[in-house]
Amino acid sequence: MTLLDRFLKYVKIETTALEEKDDACSNDKILNLTNVMLRELQALNPSEITVNQYGQVDAKFPGDESKDAVAFLAHMDTSNQASGKDVNPIITEYQGGDIPLQEGMVLSPKDFPSLNHSVGHRVIHTDGNTLLGGDDKAGMAIIMTALSEILEKKENHRPLEIIMTTDEEIGADARHVSMGIVNAKYGYTVDGGDYRYVSIESFTAYAMEVKVTGKSIHPGSAKDKLVNAGNVLIHFQNALPEFLRPEDTDGKEPFFHLCNFQGCEDHAEASYIIRSFDEVQIQEMIKLAKLTARRINDRLGYEAIVLDIKEQYHNMKVILDQYPQIQKEINDIYAKFGMECRYEAIRGGTTGSQLSFMGLPTPNLGTGDYNMHGKYEYVDYDEMEAMVKVVKEMMR
Ligand SMILES: [Zn+2]
């Protein structure tokens, strides 16, 4: 099977991630792809292959023991922000200009300038009714193609571990990886966009829930007695730094993001996410939020605001810096193929942000997939082919 065959086969299987479940995969349909992976990996004679209760597959292929075992990871589920049912992939030899999709829709370099890099390449897109699912079936196809080419030609390779995960799109995949059986010393998620970008740095992330209890009194006799929970919450929000919001920050700047806000005079609540690339800075931000709540409470004379702040994930750079050989390997291989390699601090998290702290340092590689999670999603097939070469070299 070629890279193209694999990719077209995987995207036609509906694998939309739904609501997280404690003991199973979010959508039974994803298991159809799990079964395809099981068959394809089994055919390559792994020394060990397991499927866990979440439908995640782990397959091991013994290799040269003098080299570090390495894992390659991709996720089988797709985003629920657009339909992933009846995906109709269309291959266009792209010569520039607009690509017509369904009635009234065009994939245009005016809207998506990244298309300008794909002139002269094969572009695979949808008919405009669904997402494509290149996130992350492009990664799956790249890994499976690299693996089968190495094994079928009986080339020397390192001990390899292939991990196909589920429920990445709802943030559950890393937690569901059976870390107890993972042998690899480090890994790569193949789950990015532009193939030139490698992510070794991610946000450090906390979630903050704010609960406000007011003192509700009939407004006609409220003078000096009413504490309106809604107003207290607005006060808290306004007291946080106005320009540390996602809409005003970029690059390595941190933010407080208000994601949900509701309430009445009696009670109000809000959810925030707090993000920074710096562990010290994010602790300062948390202190600032706590101080703000305390000052407001002091003025009101009771615990009107209660904060619940939870750790989510950390900047994987803290861990990856302890493994300089990984970055050297990446640099050497991209240079060998004359490929530009740009390190990107992603303003988000990856599966690797969590796995790196669970014992598997895991940077992220690009796949050539663009406009993820929507109907304008496309892959640059030439970029996918280039990534097969990169992954094969890493496997060797
Ligand atoms: Zn993805």
Q: What's the pLDDT at 10?
A: 98
**Burial grade of 207 (CB within 10 A; 0-12, 13-18, 19 or more):** middle
CATH topology of domain 3-202+315-395: Aminopeptidase (3.40.630)
CA of 74 to the centre of ligand 1 (A): 8
266 has pLDDT over 90:
yes
**Burial grade of 375 (CB within 10 A; 0-12, 13-18, 19 or more):** buried
**Burial grade of 381 (CB within 10 A; 0-12, 13-18, 19 or more):** buried
CA of 29 to the centre of ligand 1 (A): 18
CA of 170 to the centre of ligand 1 (A): 10
Q: What's the pLDDT at 348?
A: 86
CA of 368 to the centre of ligand 1 (A): 12
CA of 12 to the centre of ligand 1 (A): 17
pLDDT mean over 156-166: 98
In the sheet with 267-276, reading across from the earlier edge strand, the strands are: 255-263, 267-276, 204-213, 305-313
CA of 257 to the centre of ligand 1 (A): 22
CA of 139 to the centre of ligand 1 (A): 8
Q: What's the pLDDT at 229?
A: 98
349 has pLDDT over 90:
no
Q: What's the pLDDT at 193?
A: 93
Q: What's the pLDDT at 103?
A: 87
For the chain, the structural domain boundaries read 3-202+315-395, 204-313
CA of 164 to the centre of ligand 1 (A): 12
CA of 360 to the centre of ligand 1 (A): 18
The answer for residues whose C-beta is within 8 angstroms of residue 320's C-beta and 6 or more apart is 200, 201, 326, 327, 356, 361, 363
Q: Report percent pLDDT > 70 for the chain.
A: 100
CA of 323 to the centre of ligand 1 (A): 24
* Tens of pLDDT, residues 72-90: 999 999 999 999 999 999 9
* Tens of pLDDT, residues 293-326: 999 999 999 999 999 999 988 999 999 999 999 9
CA atoms within 13 A of residue 372's CA, in its CB half-sphere: 18
Containing 32, the helix (H) or strand (E) segment is helix 30-42
Q: How many residues does the chain have?
A: 396
Q: What's the pLDDT at 277?
A: 96
Q: What's the pLDDT at 381?
A: 98
CA of 54 to the centre of ligand 1 (A): 17
Q: What's the pLDDT at 66?
A: 97
pLDDT mean over 162-184: 96
In the beta sheet, which residues pair with residue 75? Answer: 165
**Cβ distance 21 to 122 under 8 Å?**
no
Q: What's the pLDDT at 217?
A: 94
pLDDT mean over 236-265: 96
In the beta sheet, which residues pair with residue 306? Answer: 211
pLDDT mean over 330-334: 97
* Tens of pLDDT, residues 176-220: 999 999 999 999 999 989 999 999 999 999 999 999 999 999 999
CA of 173 to the centre of ligand 1 (A): 11
CA of 151 to the centre of ligand 1 (A): 26
Known catalytic residues are 77, 168
Q: Which CATH architecture group holds 204-313?
A: 2-Layer Sandwich (3.30)
Q: Which amino acid is at 108?
A: S
Containing 384, the helix (H) or strand (E) segment is helix 381-395
**Cβ distance 386 to 195 under 8 Å?**
yes
Mapping DSSP to helix (H, G, I), strand (E, B) and coil, where does residue 220 land? helix
239 has pLDDT over 90:
yes
- pLDDT, the chain, mean: 96
Of the pLDDT bands very low, low, confident and very high (cuts 50, 70, 90), residue 350 is confident
pLDDT mean over 145-173: 97
Of the pLDDT bands very low, low, confident and very high (cuts 50, 70, 90), residue 238 is very high
Mapping DSSP to helix (H, G, I), strand (E, B) and coil, where does residue 215 land? strand
**Cβ distance 215 to 226 under 8 Å?**
yes
Mapping DSSP to helix (H, G, I), strand (E, B) and coil, where does residue 197 land? strand
